[in-house]
Chains A and B, each alone.
Chain A
Amino acid sequence: MYTLRYSPDSASLIVRLVLTELGLPFEARAIDRRAGELDSPGYRALHPLGKIPAMETPNGPMFESAAILLYLSDRHPGLAPGPDAPDRAAFLKWLFFTSTNIHTAVMEVFYPERVAGEAAAGAVLAHASARLRTLLSALNLAAEANPVWLSADQPSTLGYYIAVLMRWLGQCDKGTLAHVDAADYPALHAVLAMLEQRPAARAVALAEGLGDTIFTDPG
């Protein structure tokens, strides 16, 4: 039994979608951010940096979205090539590409002042926004071959990961440097359009109040 510590529409959403898609029993326990729970000793015992998500497992607390996804796919096959699969290398490189490059660039676009202070925020944002588009193009190119680990025909951990990141980018005001229109990346858009119709995605969207077209047109 897993306990996912979550906050609606935060990075815990990626893990919640995957847990639900895998059909695993888990408890979703909300984090009281307004009360400062992320800085509480109890939460810091789960995640020393006080970030979201954290997940309690039979092997102790887990954090880092990509680590949780890999941990889950080791134990519950179906949404990613396993350690012995011939396309494991391709899956791992694009998972880490998404985690260390795309996710990082997304955070820089959302919080440019965290990188180098307010004075540099504009320059950081411009730089990160340009880099993000290059990275998304590379992932879109990889998705064009419709690999099982990022397919438009079946759910995958990496598919849910990129779908949530693109949801957030799509929510930014159009015309701003942070906004990304998923339709500009057709192969990724096809993955998003399939995933948002999955019963798992519908159930999580309802639970967190996210709306209907949660990935392709997040509103």
Chain B
Amino acid sequence: MYVLHYAPDNASQIIRMVLEELAVPYRTALVDRSTRAQDRPEYRAVNPTGLIPALETPQGAVFETAAILLWLTETHAAMAPAPGSALRGDFLKWLIFVANTLHADARLLFYPEAHAGSAQALPGFRSQTEARILRHLGLLDTVAAQSPGYLVASDPSVLCYYICCLIRWITLYPADRRGWLDLARFPALFDLAETLQSRPAALRVALAEGLGPTVFTDPHFAVPPEGSAL
């Protein structure tokens, strides 16, 4: 059985929603961020970078969100265009775009002090990062508007969950900028998020991690039954 090392409302949420959507058995193991459990040797043995999530599989522990997602789609032959199929290339390029461009910039937004270097650089850092994120979302909105097979909320791919979870966090964080993103500016992404958040898989995770009802389109800070988001 899979073991998902998670913290509520962390990137592990993407994997958890996908595991629910795949309806495969798994159990969760809390990484308690309030005591910085991600820096302890036990977790570092699972993921040397200390980043959340990690998924224990029959092939060993896997980390990197997009790597876990891609591996799950291949292992369960679901939630992505199959290798060799016509849409595979497009799916891969947008998955990796989301992983190392959108997600990477989102991380800069969430942890600005770790990257901006000094307090006086913060405002410029934020405005540059926010501008890039808006451009990335605009690009994804254009793609989503064409409803390619890997961006259809009624038959969701892992990419749908990845994008919508990032939208949630970009809207919520950093806490003093909450709500800066107006998702209505990206109508195709808004539709995707609205449909996806009402799927049973998303609702189950929302309940388990205390995320509230409109997890993607109108997110609120998590009130989790265990652990800490930050």
Interface residues in chain A, defined as those with a beta carbon under 8 Å from any beta carbon in chain B: 48-49, 57, 59-60, 62-64, 66-68, 70-71, 74-75, 82-84, 86-90, 92-93, 95-97, 99-101, 103-104, 115-117, 119-120, 122-124, 126-127, 135, 138, 141
Q: How far apart are B149's CB and chain A's nearest CB, in angstroms?
A: 13
A116 to B121, CA, bound (A): 7
Residues of chain B contacted by A87 (CB below 8 angstroms): 59
Residues of chain A contacted by B99 (CB below 8 angstroms): 96, 99-100
Q: A66-B100, A71-B92, A96-B99 are in contact. Are A127 and B117 (CB under 8 A)?
A: yes
A62 to B114, CA, bound (A): 33
List 14 other contacts, CB 8 Å, given A63-B93, A93-B62, A93-B68.
A49-B139, A67-B96, A71-B92, A92-B71, A100-B66, A116-B115, A116-B128, A116-B129, A117-B128, A120-B116, A120-B124, A123-B116, A123-B121, A127-B117
| Chain A residue nearest to B48 in the complex (CB) | A138
Q: Among residues 115 to 159 in chain B, which have CB atoms less than 8 Å away from a CB atom of chain A? A: 115-118, 120-121, 124-125, 128-129, 139
Evaluate contact between B88 and A48: CB separation under 8 angstroms. Answer: no
Q: How far apart are B34's CB and chain A's nearest CB, in angstroms?
A: 24
A66 to B63, CA, bound (A): 16
| Chain A residue nearest to B70 in the complex (CB) | A92
In the assembled complex, 24 residue pairs joining A and B whose CB atoms fall closer than 8 Å, in A order, are A59-B86, A59-B87, A63-B97, A64-B93, A67-B93, A68-B93, A71-B93, A87-B59, A89-B59, A90-B62, A96-B67, A96-B70, A97-B64, A99-B96, A100-B66, A103-B100, A116-B124, A117-B125, A119-B124, A120-B124, A124-B115, A127-B115, A138-B48, A141-B48
Evaluate contact between B49 and A138: CB separation under 8 angstroms. Answer: yes
Interface residues in chain B, defined as those with a beta carbon under 8 Å from any beta carbon in chain A: 48-49, 57, 59-60, 62-64, 66-68, 70-71, 74, 83-84, 86-90, 92-93, 95-97, 99-101, 103-104, 108, 114-118, 120-121, 124-125, 128-129, 139
A115 to B115, CA, bound (A): 8
Pick from B49, B96, B115, B129: contact of A66, CB below 8 A.
B96
